[in-house]
Chains A and B, each alone.
Chain A
Amino acid sequence: MTNVYIIGAGATPVAEHYGRSLADLASEAVRAAFAQVPGLNAKRVGAVYVANALGEVMASQSQLGAYLATAVGLAGVPALRIEAAGASGGAALHQAAQTVASGSCDVAVVLGAEKVTDRLDGALEAALALATDAEAEGIHGITLTAQWALLMRRYLFEHGYAPEVFAPFPVNAHANAAKNPQALYRFGISADKYRKAGQIASPLNMLDCSSVADGAAALIIASERIARELSGPLVRLAGTAIGSDITALAARPDPLDLAASRASAHVALGRAHLGIGDVQVLELSDPHGITAALALESIGFYERGAAPRHAADGAIAPSGRTPLATAGGYKARGDIAGASGVYQVVELVRQLKGVAGPTQVPGARVALAQCLGGVGVTAATSVLVSEDL
């Protein structure tokens, strides 16, 4: 087993890219990642893992491993598509890390790519709802947004809060996205606007729901031998892990406990020989405030019912104890479905290299990314550590 490093990271802007195909977006992201390692010969790539959740339904294309490897100029390289709904990106990174750690290749590419704007919103809602339990939930017209709304209302009931207690999450996300040229929504919002926003799935309102948009992000994963040929600070992928939970939300013993989120975070941190107190910047699935709050509490950053209060006190700002969504998060950078987990890591690499600009977390050396598939049905966590050599 070898240590594994992230030696290149790049992404396209998140947008409604009506003029661009899935293949175009993938090509731009991979070229952006390789531009960071000009000395690396692409012939050294021994594996490609494509993260994509909705390709068949929304982009009319399957077999995305070979298809996108070809599109980016890596035809002939072993290539697979990894699908775990919204956790696809973290799951693909986990697979790439294991492949490189095993020694079966020295360089692997993780490519998250999603194209959703060729079809209308009803088709998108139906495609996303395929990540629910079709018989127990999907047939009843339940969407993923509805499931988070059900959890939000129960959470408010159990802890005696009003809905606007979640406003700090989208307010922070938008404040950070306003400084990210690649974000979907580059403007701030206020808690007052949050209170007045129209309902999408009550009590979730328009300013507490992410928009799914097009984009691609790529990471180059390398063995220690390759990484040490490069100059400058290195980002080590210190631990990755996958967790899974009962698909049907109602069948879980405690719906407000995201067991997969907790399990994958703790296993990933354990593999990195770190604890949650070591994490200085994080990316979580945060399409809604409730999603981020439940993950923060399930992982153990805060007691149950306490995450919104800490968020209101500034804990999730870049200067806080658990900085979150420094590039805008799902809410304002944009939700790229199966590619979101790769976008998360692109941002954390920037943070650990100290090049995150106005939302830089000072001195960040340990970062954690976690993406969820469905309502925490799958959770993929990655722990990143910066190394000076």
Chain B
Amino acid sequence: MEIARHWRGRAARYRLEGQRNRTSGAVRFPPQPTALGEDTDAWEPVALSGRGEIYSFSVLRQVPDGYEGMAPYPVAMVRLVEGPLVTAQLTDCAEGDLSIGLPVEMVTRKLVDTGEDGVLVYGYKFRPVVS
């Protein structure tokens, strides 16, 4: 089930909400707890634009239980325009469309179906920018 687990992550999952350091302006994603030695308000929430480019990608053919219905599927590390790297699936594209440096944008899609008694988990994926 894990309903509370997926609910807790909703800001990052649905809005791509990361954190900005109030002093340095550094941006990070996903959000992290307060580290030792930091003030509890050192980082503030910031919604990221969802735009970036492919840092690297792979198309998976051997996949974990729960993901077999989607296989084969492309995954990527995406360098967001705000700086952080994000790992996610790519969607709305064929393997031949993909290359390092390709501009992509965030969309909200189903990540996994956890079964009859579970939840449909939604969250961010990335697709080539529709120009």
A interface list, Cβ under 8 A from B: 121-123, 125-126, 129, 135-137, 139-143, 145-146, 149-151, 153-154, 157, 199-204, 248-251, 255
Contacts and interface: CB of A to CB of B under 8 A. Distances in A.
A123 B65 CA distance: 6
B65 A122 contact: yes
In this complex, the member of B12, B68, B75, B76 whose beta carbon has the largest number of chain A beta carbons within 10 angstroms is: B75
Interface string B31-66: 000000000000000000000000111111111111
Given A129-B64, A140-B89, A201-B62, A153 B100 contact: yes
Contacts of B77: 150, 154, 249-250, 255
A137 B111 CA distance: 11
Contact of B111 (A139, A145, A200, A202): A139
Given A122-B68, A154-B56, A250-B87, A139 B121 contact: yes
A126 B65 contact: yes
Contacts of B64: 122, 125-126, 129, 141, 143
Nearest to A149: B58
Contacts of A136: 30, 87
The 9 lowest CB-CB distance pairs between A and B, nearest first, are A126-B64, A149-B58, A250-B85, A122-B65, A154-B56, A141-B67, A125-B64, A150-B56, A126-B65
Contacts of A250: 77, 84-87
Contacts of B61: 199-201
A157 B100 contact: yes
Contacts of A200: 60-62
Nearest to B71: A141
B123 A139 contact: yes
Given A136-B30, A250-B84, A251-B85, A150 B75 contact: yes
* Most chain B CB atoms below 10 A, which of A135, A200, A249: A135
Interface of B: 9, 12, 28, 30, 55-68, 70, 73, 75-77, 84-89, 95, 100, 111-112, 121, 123, 125
B87 A143 contact: no
Contacts of A145: 60, 62
Given A140-B89, A141-B75, A150-B76, A204 B58 contact: yes
Given A137-B87, A250-B84, A146 B58 contact: yes
A248 B60 contact: no
Contacts of B87: 136-137, 140, 142, 150, 248-250
Contacts of B12: 135
Given A140-B89, A143-B64, A249-B77, A201 B59 contact: yes
A140 B62 contact: no
B62 A141 contact: no
Contacts of A204: 58
Contact of A142 (B30, B75, B95, B100): B75
A250 B125 CA distance: 15
Contacts of A202: 58-59, 95
A141 B57 contact: no
Contacts of A154: 55-56, 77, 100
29 contacts: A122-B65, A123-B65, A125-B64, A126-B66, A136-B30, A137-B87, A139-B111, A140-B75, A140-B87, A140-B88, A140-B111, A141-B67, A141-B70, A141-B75, A141-B112, A142-B87, A146-B58, A149-B60, A150-B56, A150-B58, A153-B56, A153-B58, A154-B56, A157-B56, A199-B61, A201-B58, A248-B87, A250-B85, A255-B77
